[in-house]
């Protein structure tokens, strides 16, 4: 079952009114996938290092979006999804 790890350390599929998405696998070795409800399509995704430096940005293109982290060093990354409802998550790349 795909899981999402949010900043409160709970592992689950995140649910927001009429918005559902899953980020997996976590931890990952090279790529993460985001399965999102249709109302998240065209929303921004920004990935930051644990020091707060932006390293990637992308847009959710469809209900299943893949983000390649292969060029990034192993470590903890923070993902910000959305412009209006902003939610932040941790992903571990190993």
Q: What is the pLDDT of residue 28?
A: 93
Domain hosting residue 67, numbered range: 4-93
- Please state whether the peptide bond connecting residue 27 to the residue before it is cis, i.e. omega within 30 degrees of 0: yes
Q: How many domains does the chain have?
A: 1
Q: Closest Cα partner for 81 from 26, 93, 29, 56?
A: 56
pTM, rounded to two decimals: 0.74
Q: Which residue has the tokens 């299943």?
A: 64
| Intervals of the chain under pLDDT 70 | 1-19, 84-86
Residue-wise pLDDT tens digits, 13-31: 445 566 677 889 999 999 9
Output the domain CATH number for residue 40: 2.60.40.10
Beta-sheet pairing, 54-59 with 4-5:
unpaired
């Amino acid at each position: 079952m795909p899981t999402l790890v949010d900043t409160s350390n709970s592992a689950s599929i995140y649910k927001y009114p009429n918005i559902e998405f899953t980020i997996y696998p976590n931890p990952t070795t090279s790529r993460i996938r985001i399965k999102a409800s249709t109302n998240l399509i065209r929303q921004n995704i920004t990935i930051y290092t644990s020091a707060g430096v932006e390293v990637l940005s992308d847009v959710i293109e469809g209900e299943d979006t893949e983000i390649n982290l292969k060029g990034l060093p192993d470590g903890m990354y923070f993902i910000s999804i959305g412009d209006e409802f902003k939610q932040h998550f941790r992903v571990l790349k190993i």
